């Protein structure tokens, strides 16, 4: 299985729990994620993206280190660090890696108020073990979108969605 997977939940807590479970599975080498983001929609309809990696902070730290090194050359490492941190933060703010932010905001707009979604860009995974690891989320959410095969999507739906009521 590889590709984009979006699962929606009625509350934010479950979405954050799923993200934590996926990160734990990544630590156990069951999957490799390129990006995992929780999208929330507040009661007043505002959509927020909760990225796993804050690019602004990462850019500021990296820029500060490089700025300090360049500042050493000019005998003013503090000024170099400050300028580097500012430049790094600015470049990090405008850097978008992984899943397209506009796409996630569109997904967030379609959620019910107070709801949340987990958007995962998976590079590689051991499908059966990951599905088993998601057993705590059975019947708690729904699959919104995937780029998986029909068989893989059906297995994912069976893992997290409520069984359909039989006629």
Q: Is residue 84 part of a domain?
A: yes
Report the alpha-carbon distance of residue 38 to residue 73 in Å, rounded.
Answer: 42
Q: In what order do the strands lie in the sheet with 141-146?
A: 47-51, 31-41, 116-125, 3-9, 141-146
Whether 103 and 32 share a structural domain:
yes
- Share above pLDDT 70 across residues of the chain, in percent, rounded to a whole number: 70
User: Residue 120 corresponds to which tokens in the numbers above?
Assistant: 């995962």
Supply the DSSP string of 91-151, one letter for each residue.
HHHT---SS-HHHHHHHHHTSPTT-EEEEEEEEEE-HHHHHHHTGGGTTSEEEEEE-S-HH
Whether 44 and 109 share a structural domain:
yes
Q: What is the pLDDT of residues 148-163, one digit of tens each?
A: 888 888 888 888 888 7
Whether 7 and 41 share a structural domain:
yes
Compute the mean pLDDT over every residue in the chain, rounded to the nearest whole number.
81
Whether 147 and 121 share a structural domain:
yes
Which domain, by its residues, includes 61?
Answer: 55-93
Whether 78 and 110 share a structural domain:
no
Whether 25 and 64 share a structural domain:
no
Whether 44 and 108 share a structural domain:
yes
What domain count does the chain have? 2
Identify the burial level of 51 via C-beta atoms within 10 angstroms of its C-beta, where 0-12 means exposed, 13-18 middle and 19 or more buried.
Answer: middle
Q: What is the pLDDT of residues 97-136, one digit of tens each?
A: 567 888 889 999 999 999 999 999 899 988 889 989 988 9
Whether 49 and 103 share a structural domain:
yes
Q: What is the domain-level CATH number for residue 134?
A: 3.40.1520
pTM of the model: 0.71
């Amino acid at each position: 299985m590889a590709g984009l997977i979006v699962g929606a939940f009625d509350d934010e807590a479950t979405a954050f729990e799923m993200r934590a479970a996926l990160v734990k599975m990544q630590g156990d080498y069951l999957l490799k994620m390129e990006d995992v983001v929780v999208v929330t929609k507040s009661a007043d309809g505002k959509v927020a993206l909760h990225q796993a990696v804050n690019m602004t902070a990462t850019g500021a730290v990296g820029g500060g280190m490089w700025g300090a090194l360049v500042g050493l050359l000019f005998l003013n490492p503090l000024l170099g660090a400050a300028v580097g941190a500012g430049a790094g933060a600015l470049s990090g703010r405008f850097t978008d890696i992984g899943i397209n932010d506009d796409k996630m905001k569109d997904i967030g707009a379609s959620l019910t108020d107070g709801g949340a979604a987990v958007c995962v860009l998976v590079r590689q995974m051991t499908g059966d073990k990951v599905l088993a690891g998601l057993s705590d989320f059975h019947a708690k959410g729904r699959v919104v979108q995937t780029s998986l095969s029909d068989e893989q999507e059906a297995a994912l739906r069976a893992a997290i969605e409520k069984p359909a009521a039989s006629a």
